[in-house]
Structure 1
Amino acid sequence: MKILCLSNGHGEDAIAVRILQALQQQPQAPEIPALPLVGKGQAYINHNIAIVGPVKPMPSGGFVYMDGRQLVRDVKGGLLQLTLAQIKIVKTWAKEGGVILAVGDIVPLLFAWLSGAPYAFVGTAKSEYYLRDEVGPLPRNSWFEKMEAWSGSVYLPWERWLMSRPKCRAVFPRDNLTTAGLKRWSIPAFDLGNPMMDSLEPSAAAIATKSQENPPLTIALLPGSRPPEAYANWHQIIQAIARILETFPNRPLLFLGAIAPGLDLDKLREPLEAQAWRLSITNHIFSSDPTALRFTQRKATLVLTQQAFNDCLHLADLAIAMAGTATEQFVGLGKPAITLPGQGPQFTPAFAEAQTRLLGCSITLVQQPAQVPKAIEALLSNPDRLQIIADNGQHRMGAPGAAQRIATQLIQQFGKLHV
């Protein structure tokens, strides 16, 4: 069996890698190259997964659909030529008897259908929680917002059409509410969980640290992964931290900056030092990351790490977040996140508002950094709310192990083609 994986973005690539690694562990592992439709596919390269066909980073960085001006830039950058070459690759793959796994949104799903090969789809971008929860439709203000639910599903009719084709052997939505909705349209949807929650295990050192008595209030800092937006987000987060220090002057505080490997730590360090944070020579927080930077100010410690993402999530009591996937993963661990809208192109006010619908009560959206301390006080003073948040996050994001469950189902569904 040969499975070509299509994905369209950094986060989607990372999710696809988890599934492909699970497929590699199957008794009769299929041949599983990848074709990233956006970017270079660094996640595949890092895990030694072969890339077939042309890849080329576009000026938009993958957010072409959020801004028409970005589309113009991408077209000038060779988007049409790249797309035609990629379509040719998937059609050739189909002629050679291969099948396709599409991960992301309608773009890889459309490519899979155009190939003519049998295909499966992992829907990472859409959830019914954007429109409704288990109680019913969410209140929306403008007529435009209300129109988002015009077709009866977060997936539009043409997306559902692609998922209901005979060649589509399986669809793996990101949560059970979305799965139940798609099944109403005779789509072969399977509720197997969200691969975002896989591979988030903490280190033994983090587990030991978490079990210590009287730990400091620990806050994860999630500025996002894409420059230059992440640097702008970081400045807002630093403003929030300054207000937190004023609000909790006598309380030990630990801030854990989970910084994407592609960001420049110097650009994060400089504004910290301008705010009177002093770089410390020693780092006793993450033994697994000797390159981590540790800063101190009053009773507070702040650490920047690019190698201990999982430990940051597990050690933190709450997060100040201006990220997509990282925020969802944090919430999926049952923890509250406070979010601030940024300037984009990703974490815009509209994106932040949509994220509150996706993740429900686990997200507290504030408009200004000065409002963060009050949000923290509200959370810490309400244990019942924290328990509801814990249950909500785990319910909406699902249990770990989804990649393995999806891989097993893929083998079963595609295996029927050869019976």
Structure 2
Amino acid sequence: METQLDLLIVSNGHGEDAIASRLATALADRRPSARMAAFPLVGPGEAYDRAGIPTVFRSRPMPSGGFGWQDPRAFARDVAAGFLSLTASQMDALRRLQGRVGALLLVGDIYPVLMTLPYRVPKAFVATARSDYIAPHLAVERRILARACRVVFARDELTARSLARHGVPAVSFGNVMMDMLTPEGLDLGLRDGAPIVGVLPGSRRDWCDNLLAIADVLRRVVARRPLVQAVAALAGPLPDPSRLARRGGWSRPGSRSGRQASTAGWRTAREGGGWG
């Protein structure tokens, strides 16, 4: 792409691509004349395709789905699949784009910030990976963000205040991922007035395993509080629904018709909640 870009969006993950594409769409609505493009660092960036946002680089998917840094074995599989050569290609593509980008929108963890350090343009960073509630930013990350970014959008107010105390220009307007939820009016058979737990097991290869682990926790919760209900947003059909049924009495409720049949509802054998 030889034209000047007002904004280059760099993201590193499938969920991050979805968040970034949502932000880009909102920006385009406000500034229709803005010239923007996306640079997905993990995978080909289907979310940008769906949103009609051009991409300037198409990454190959890695076996770890972008989580190779969490497990040495996963990282070794990524290296065997060409991670190092892919990273070199990405760095070269970003280098060639320098001088033709007016600003950067970075979405994900610290990785897209590191990849774009040579850029001397305003950078806004949407920090999706870390929160002081679960995994605060490391000291070295805070130093990089303080020097590199014009503004950092933290996941929550606690994290924003923590970053600000260390000189990071951080603010929080909530977790952007929650803006991706679109009510569709489905009847999930939930009881009025009873507590509801929303379950988001993810969309990567391990989402089924995540769901099973969460189901074990919810089984113990329902044993203590039988009125608790649970609703899960599933990334796809369960490969083996019986695995969930075997986890402490989870069972599929009566069949549903039409659109609702695709929600694959689940309910505990006690008076606990349904899965939708």
TM-score between the two structures when normalised by the length of structure 1: 0.54
Number of aligned residue pairs: give it: 270
- CA shift for structure 1 position 118: 3.7
Structure-2 residue corresponding to 1:339: none
1:231–1:197 CA distance, 2 compared to 1 (3 A): closer
Counterpart amino acid of 1:86? Q
Is 1:231 equivalent to 2:204 in the alignment?
no
Helix, strand or coil for the counterpart of 1:113? coil
Q: Output aligned runs, 1:6-405, within 5 Å.
A: 6-130=10-134, 154-157=137-140, 159-165=142-148, 168-200=149-181, 202-204=183-185, 218-227=196-205, 229-239=206-216, 254-261=229-236, 264-267=237-240, 269-273=241-245, 277=251, 280-282=254-256, 289-294=260-265, 300=271, 304-305=275-276
- CA shift for structure 1 position 296: 6.3
Helix, strand or coil for the counterpart of 1:20? helix
Helix, strand or coil for the counterpart of 2:242? helix
What are the ranges of 5 or more consecutive residues in structure 1 without an aligned counterpart?
132-152, 306-419
Contact 1:252 1:300 in 2 (8 A): yes
Aligned equivalents of 1:30, 1:56: Cα separation in 2: 28
Aligned equivalents of 2:72, 2:126: Cα separation in 1: 26
1:78–1:271 CA distance, 2 compared to 1 (3 A): same
- CA shift for structure 1 position 78: 0.9
Contact 1:18 1:195 in 2 (8 A): no
Aligned equivalents of 2:34, 2:20: Cα separation in 1: 15
1:288–1:29 CA distance, 2 compared to 1 (3 A): farther
- CA shift for structure 1 position 116: 4.3
Q: Which has the higher contact order (CA 8 A, sep 6+)?
A: 1
Contact 2:64 2:75 in 1 (8 A): yes
Helix, strand or coil for the counterpart of 2:64? coil
Structure-2 residue corresponding to 1:417: none
Helix, strand or coil for the counterpart of 2:36? coil
Counterpart amino acid of 2:147? S
- CA shift for structure 1 position 71: 2.0
Structure-2 residue corresponding to 1:364: none
- CA shift for structure 1 position 72: 1.9
Structure-2 residue corresponding to 1:324: none
Counterpart amino acid of 2:137? V
Aligned equivalents of 1:116, 1:22: Cα separation in 2: 25
Give the aligned CA root-mean-square deviation in angstroms: 3.6
What are the ranges of 5 or more consecutive residues in structure 2 without an aligned counterpart?
none
Helix, strand or coil for the counterpart of 1:280? coil
- CA shift for structure 1 position 160: 1.9
Contact 2:251 2:267 in 1 (8 A): yes
1:66–1:119 CA distance, 2 compared to 1 (3 A): same
Identical residues among aligned pairs (%): 34
1:61–1:184 CA distance, 2 compared to 1 (3 A): same
Aligned equivalents of 1:218, 1:182: Cα separation in 2: 32
